[in-house]
Amino acid sequence: MASLPVPQICSKKQNSCFCHPQPGCLCMVWSTQPENGRGRRIPGLFWLSWEPQSHLTYRPKDTQPQARYWEVRGQKKQNLLTIPPGFKKGMDFAPKDRPTPAPGLLSLSYLLEPLDLGGGDEDENEAVGQPGGSRRDAVSASPCSTPLARASSLEDLVLKEASTAVSAPEAPEPPPQEQWAIPVDATSPVGDFYRLIPQPAFQWAFEPDVFQKQAILHLERHDSVFVAAHTSAGKTVVAEYAIALAQKHMTRTIYTSPIKALSNQKFRDFRNTFGDVGLLTGDVQLHPEASCLIMTTEILRSMLYSGSDVIRDLEWVIFDEVHYINDAERGVVWEEVLIMLPDHVSIILLSATVPNALEFADWIGRLKRRQIYVISTVTRPVPLEHYLFTGNRELFLLLDSRGAFHTKGYYAAVEAKKERMSKHAQTFGAKQPTHQGGPAQVRTGRVLYLPELNLCPFSFLLQDRGLPVVVFTFSRGRCDEQASGLTSLDLTTSSEKSEIHLFLQRCLARLRGSDRQLPQVLHMSELLNRGLGVHHSGILPILKEIVEMLFSRGLVKVLFATETFAMGVNMPARTVVFDSMRKHDGSTFRDLLPGEYVQMAGRAGRRGLDPTGTVILLCKGRVPEMADLHRMMMGKPSQLQSQFRLTYTMILNLLRVDALRVEDMMKRSFSEFPSRKDSKAHEQALAELTKRLGSLEEPDMTGQLVDLPEYYGWGEELTETQHMIQRRIMESVNGLKSLSAGRVVVVKNQEHRNALGVILQVSSNSTSRVFTTLVLCDKPLSQDPQNRGPATPEVPYPDDLVGFKLFLPEGPCDHTVVKLQPGDMAAITTKVLRVNGEKILEDFSKRQQPKFKKDPPLAAVTTAVQELLRLAQAHPAGPPTLDPVNDLQLKDVSVVEGGLRARKLEELIRGAQCVHSPRFPAQYLKLRERMQIQKEMERLRFLLSDQSLLLLPEYHQRVEVLRTLGYVDEAGTVKLAGRVACAMSSHELLLTELMFDNALSTLRPEEIAALLSGLVCQSPGDDGNGYLLNLGIERVRAVAKRIGEVQVACGLNQTVEEFVGELNFGLVEVVYEWARGMPFSELAGLSGTPEGLVVRCIQRLAEMCRSLRGAARLVGEPVLGAKMETAATLLRRDIVFAASLYTQ
């Protein structure tokens, strides 16, 4: 070893993160641990890499202004520190042989000795000994110097800079326009893939697709990627390669998913592939030391807030199902995690096809100051064919595998449906009306059945080898009804029945005897035995996993599922059937969105087994409208939209640390991205305007010009006030009613300045009303915008500002017809003319044609023009206008006060003295230029400041709530109550107030659990269980009401009733009896809530009890802590907490 590098002590105070040090650095990393409400920084020291034949130079990193870097490039070592700050011993840089360290002493040379740094000493000394030679030359001459050579040294394993220096060209500097999202052509073949990566980190039994190869190439360069592809296209291949690459580099990967069930499934798959895989969810921790950790996004957020050591060794974070960021409830978690991730972590985003992938990637790129490579493909590995099913064997092709829409198939389906409905009406009587898109039901005698869900579709699919099939039904009840209705359908062979029976016995053996006899378990077992399955949130978790596993084995032939089944591991079917194209989204029934339809339809088609996938839409009642079908099947999927919102937990956590302010979190959110992406341009414009302002000549405002600034300000304020009043008029009902055909108005826009016009026709477009108006003018308007007159005079005198000073033609009067927006009308006059709008428009349109251009206008046109000209001559200052208060009955305070202020400003403008000075025009222009520049500078400063943040007012309101309740002090320091609230997973204010009010300590553990169920229950039911619990319920509601009142007093929009209404005590009795030890089989009689929802409620409740246990210990409440421990233990038993089959 020629020399050792000087250690680098990084001063950046962030949670366990690299600061992009250069080769040859010893980096101190600070890990923030919670202490005293602010966080305690614990230094950790580790060696990264080194480079021989070098001297040390200091270079600050632009993107990390707090960090300092030393680069190793030559042999000079003048004026170097030998003892770094914080160390007792230094380092000797003189060349010498490495001695064997004395026993018991820790030596850097001893630590480095066993490491393979890319070659033997012989090769290294040879490179060092070359006169004038360099390490770079030696590397470039190596046969392994391909752009993506296999990593073979510690430098390659940890640092991107070192990796690219050896095996890949350096990443180009960002272009001047800061293009952070780089689109990659996913159709361009990668012919030299195996030359660039001769020894890939992972290999598959199949040849990766082009888009997968493109992504792998960028992963080898340690780039961040956004991969958008259809369901089942193979996005998991990218995740697998990143995991393998991290294991090769001896670093860590985190895979995050939006739901715990998906995390469990991925844990099973990745563990079978890679072995060293761990799982972290709310209630399970398996192998947390593994190199690949599977977790939900909420767990990763908690790790980032707490400064977990896992983040230090992290190389990749994989975000699966990124389109889940659109979820209104949990989408904010994704944004928090993306914002807080350290810059050294590379990001892999896997998503369904979205139209704004580049925009989203641009946001992340600007956030992390690194380029994100966007790889999108719309190609499906198995093309889909979409059909309409009208009954019996009647299938009509609607959308073929090439994406062509077949109108003939649609009309044929309409005719077939009419004929079938006619036959049904003749045989069974009139069909009952459908309700909200539900199935039309036919009554025959005393039997009620569903005509379109008999055996016809499935027997047809069976004959046509269309199984397995997934039937998407948007109601838990209809899923169960449809599966139960197929009593005579048996799709499994005797050997398959035996396999299903043995699998069920093995899976259910872990349950207690009474749980194995649950009605849902017995019913599902019977369905599975015949090859049928049901999958929705009301099914017990262990049964859902059994259904998933049997379906993946091909033993479930027909699966009735809600749309949650579409989000998960690759479980394709031959056919997908839609029970309806309408769903209830929580507030109303609506058609499926294109993205929802594509996500579910993408489950059709098994790669390598089916040439095409089949998608069938059942037509119940009438056939849907063609436009609706076209929009659903071929429309653009929903864009990724920010769901960022402020929460008390976020605010309190950020107030406890120094690294990130709440304002910074808001500023970096995706919701602020459209206004913040031009920040650099705003800064440059502000600098240019500042320089330009300094070069301007000061206006001379002496003598009569002493009131020139006031005159300018009065004119600007008057114009703004008039615009405000006119805007209110146009927004009012009476104002719009007055703008009917024949009304004379004053037109003021870019082409016309205070010209009279008469409305000929009123129409509406998608955004506002359009008024087709005949307007006076001098001559035919030029189409060149440069030849149009200014909207305001160059130097406005009082007559120009006060009143209208109507336009009067200088020569022969002419006219034109224009389409006006409400903002183009400066005033609505009291005059109404009798006009024939249709004739005038027809004549004007005719005279626009070249051969009729010289024809004289009709008498109706001439009469209207003469009337307008007469009015303009009779009222040069403008005809009488409708008064907004007296005539239009506008009682808005702003309108009334604006009218009074306008009249006052008009008096001030008329009395100004500066307009009488001969120097007024020149000095006014100088002042206006200066004031306009200053106004633009103020606008840019506002856009760059925190004051422009959309959520800043709400942030101040929430901080005021925390201050009022005693969670933070006046200086913003988090107090004890705030620290307790940070420990809560949800309902942080309510739980903290209940603790500090001593509302829980006097209750028994089962009573506490029953009351807290009201905070996590999502199913309605009867409140309370006896006098004691009713008393506790009322106390909880009283505390919630007090918090709601504080929120309202601090200005938040949520009403007290809405806040208290979030509580739901429907499962109080169920939870109370469960905590007392009642078997799950006996709980069914206490509530009509589906078993799966009961299990979910109890699981979430157990997590809440653990949070309260930790909070109680934090405040020194051992009694409450013990009760919460007992409550969690009482809840965690039997089928409710049966271990996931994916983790066994």
461 and 588 in a single domain? The answer is yes
- Expressed as residue numbers, the domain containing 296 is 181-376
| Confidence at residue 94, expressed as pLDDT on a 0 to 100 scale | 56
758 and 881 in a single domain? The answer is yes
90 is a domain residue = no
Residue type, 912: A
- The pair of structure tokens assigned to 1056 is 């007290």
802 and 872 in a single domain? The answer is yes
φ and ψ of 330, to 5 deg: -115, 0
699 is a domain residue = no
Q: Give the 3-state secondary structure of residue 792.
A: coil
Contact 529, 547 (CB under 8 A): no
458 and 419 in a single domain? The answer is yes
Give the H or E element holding residue 257: strand 252-257
413 and 356 in a single domain? The answer is no
Residue type, 811: G
Beta partners for 758?
A: 744, 774
Number of structural domains in the chain? 4
| Confidence at residue 794, expressed as pLDDT on a 0 to 100 scale | 78
Q: Cα(899)–Cα(888) distance, rounded to whole angstroms?
A: 13
1088 is a domain residue = yes
Torsional sign, CA 422, 423, 429, 434: negative
pLDDT along the chain (1144 residues), means of 10: 42 41 43 41 40 37 38 43 60 52 37 37 39 37 38 36 35 59 90 89 91 94 94 89 95 92 91 94 88 93 89 93 88 93 94 91 93 92 91 86 92 88 64 42 34 54 77 91 87 94 94 89 95 93 94 93 80 90 85 90 88 90 90 90 93 88 92 87 93 92 92 93 88 88 90 90 80 86 45 74 81 88 88 91 90 88 92 87 88 88 92 93 93 94 91 95 95 93 91 93 93 85 60 93 96 94 91 93 84 92 92 91 94 92 88
HSE of 221 in the Cβ direction (CA atoms, 13 Å)? 20
Torsional sign, CA 784, 786, 792, 793: negative
299 and 412 in a single domain? The answer is no
Give the H or E element holding residue 44: strand 40-47
Give the H or E element holding residue 1006: helix 1005-1012
Q: Cα(616)–Cα(753) distance, rounded to whole angstroms?
A: 60
| Confidence at residue 832, expressed as pLDDT on a 0 to 100 scale | 92
573 is a domain residue = yes
62 is a domain residue = no
Nearest partner of 366 among 661, 675, 61, judged by Cα: 675
Q: Cα(477)–Cα(471) distance, rounded to whole angstroms?
A: 14
Contact 837, 760 (CB under 8 A): yes
Burial of 339 (C-beta count, 10 Å sphere; 0-12/13-18/19+): buried
Q: Cα(610)–Cα(1111) distance, rounded to whole angstroms?
A: 55
End-of-domain residue from the set 916, 938, 961: 916
Contact 1028, 1074 (CB under 8 A): no
pTM attached to this predicted model: 0.74
- The angle at the Cα of 288, spanning 287 to 289, to the nearest 5 degrees, equals 90
| Confidence at residue 513, expressed as pLDDT on a 0 to 100 scale | 85
What's the DSSP call for residue 916? G
State how beta strands 532-535 and 558-561 pair. Answer: parallel
297 is a domain residue = yes
End-of-domain residue from the set 600, 634, 668: 634
CATH number at residue 1107: 1.10.3380.30
Contact 1066, 1097 (CB under 8 A): no
722 and 602 in a single domain? The answer is no
| Confidence at residue 731, expressed as pLDDT on a 0 to 100 scale | 84
104 is a domain residue = no
Q: Cα(520)–Cα(371) distance, rounded to whole angstroms?
A: 51
| Confidence at residue 797, expressed as pLDDT on a 0 to 100 scale | 87
Residue type, 296: T
- The angle at the Cα of 1135, spanning 1129 to 1141, to the nearest 5 degrees, equals 110
φ and ψ of 95, to 5 deg: -60, 130
760 and 908 in a single domain? The answer is yes
| Confidence at residue 1096, expressed as pLDDT on a 0 to 100 scale | 92
1022 and 908 in a single domain? The answer is no
1076 is a domain residue = yes
Chain Cα centroid distance, residue 18: 27
Torsional sign, CA 956, 962, 963, 968: negative
Beta partners for 50?
A: none
409 and 361 in a single domain? The answer is no
Contact 469, 559 (CB under 8 A): yes
State how beta strands 447-449 and 442-444 pair. Answer: antiparallel
Q: What is the DSSP string of 258-296?
A: SSHHHHHHHHHHHHHHHS-EEEE-SS-EE-TTSSEEEEE
404 and 324 in a single domain? The answer is no
φ and ψ of 813, to 5 deg: -75, 135
Q: Give the 3-state secondary structure of residue 72.
A: strand
End-of-domain residue from the set 593, 613, 634: 634
Beta partners for 317?
A: 254, 347
CATH number at residue 393: 3.40.50.300
191 and 305 in a single domain? The answer is yes
Torsional sign, CA 213, 214, 220, 224: negative
Distance between start and end Cα atoms, the chain: 49
Q: What is the DSSP string of 858-914?
A: PHHHHHHHHHHHHHHHH-TT---B--TTTTS----HHHHHHHHHHHHHHHHHHT-SG
φ and ψ of 18, to 5 deg: -70, 155
Q: Cα(827)–Cα(824) distance, rounded to whole angstroms?
A: 9
Give the H or E element holding residue 495: helix 494-508
Could you report the per-residue pLDDT of 92-151, keeping only the tens digit for each? 655 554 444 444 333 333 333 333 333 444 343 333 344 334 333 333 333 333 344 433
State how beta strands 825-832 and 743-748 pair. Answer: antiparallel
- Between helices 648-655 and 952-965, what is the axis angle to 10°? 80
| Confidence at residue 77, expressed as pLDDT on a 0 to 100 scale | 43
Contact 521, 560 (CB under 8 A): no
Q: Give the 3-state secondary structure of residue 968.
A: strand
